[in-house]
Structure 1
Amino acid sequence: MSEYVQSIRARIGNDFLFLPAVTAVIRDGERFLLARDTGEHWSLIGGGIEPGEEPADALVREVLEETGAEVRITGLVGAYGGEQMMRTYGNGDQAGYVTIAYECELLTAAAPDMEEIFELGWFERAAIAELPRQKWIDRVIADAPV
């Protein structure tokens, strides 16, 4: 949790918080790079945009923080929100996100940071449907260019 979100949580407790985010759609041919979180769910890599930060810069920062990898943004996939982007965390914090998904090229090797993500894997579209996953990624994967 960023210092910014921590400062808001100190004032509002577990109440609902609406946050901007970014998502990386990293591909190798027909395979997508997904990350497994502490809750055993697979998702695309991404995170929150900090105050004053450009969304594209936030994406590059989040991928680097979570995987140690550098990426180059090659396009825009779309913007996503709605009920599928709302969560209640184990500590009771409620949050909703709107995320901007960018298509990215992986420039350096990636490895999980072992704090936010615990495993990385490459999956084809059909295999993703069989994974325990954050369901909202289905919309992003469907919108990613073929």
Structure 2
Amino acid sequence: MARTEYFDDPNAPKPNSLVVAASAVVTDEDGRILLQRRRDNDLWALPGGGMDMTDSLPGAAVREVKEETGLDVEITGLVGTYTDPRHVIAYTDGEVRRQFNVCFTARRVGGELEISNESTELRFVDPADLASLPMHHTQRLRIQHFLERRSAPYLG
């Protein structure tokens, strides 16, 4: 199922669902950031996804990282909350999602990188190389906030 992301676009379709989601900035020992190239829109993104009814929000981030990358992680902090109503995601099945995302920091504790059915490529990326990757604005914002090493989480 393909998806199209909109941000501050007056022509974006109106949302018909609200999904609570978690994502994670996972770094390696060299400070590179784990990214996946999404199968549904061919853009690079942090691993993450919707919270299940049986998840805690940090647990959703841990589960999604495992499902999408094969890595086991533990949550180490909070980058911020991302709830801008101008960010809308439209899926080919008719769902138009307004996403509520909480982005955590995490460290690898096990597992091996393994491409899932949701991605076409996985890579630890040096922050200096991020600008060359096709990525949605909202993903760049989360990474920017992480790289700023803020004293408090972003609340937006």
What is residue 70 of structure 2 aligned with on the other side? 68
CA distance in 1: counterparts of 2:16 and 2:103, whole angstroms: 23
CA distance in 1: counterparts of 2:38 and 2:52, whole angstroms: 21
- Note if contact 1:88-1:95 (Cα within 8 Å) is conserved in structure 2: yes
What is residue 18 of structure 2 aligned with on the other side? 18
Deviations 1:76-135 (A, max 9, x none): 11111215631112333211111111100012222111x111210121223222211122
CA distance in 2: counterparts of 1:49 and 1:80, whole angstroms: 15
Q: Which has the higher helix share?
A: 1
Structure 2 counterpart of 1:127, from 129, 135, 152: 129
**Counterpart residue type for residue 77 of structure 1:** V
CA distance in 1: counterparts of 2:106 and 2:31, whole angstroms: 14
In structure 1, runs of 5+ residues without a counterpart are 2-13
Q: What is the 5 A alignment of 1:135-146? A: 135-145=137-147, 146=149
Q: What is the 5 A alignment of 1:94-109? A: 94-108=96-110, 109=112
TM-score of the aligned structures, taking structure 2 as reference length:
0.77
CA RMSD across the alignment: 2.0
Structure 1 counterpart of 2:113, from 99, 110, 113: 110
What is residue 30 of structure 1 aligned with on the other side? 31
**What is the number of residues matched between the two proteins?**
133
- Note if contact 1:24-1:46 (Cα within 8 Å) is conserved in structure 2: yes
DSSP-derived class of the 2:94 partner: coil
**Change in 2 beyond 3 A, CA 1:130/1:83:** farther
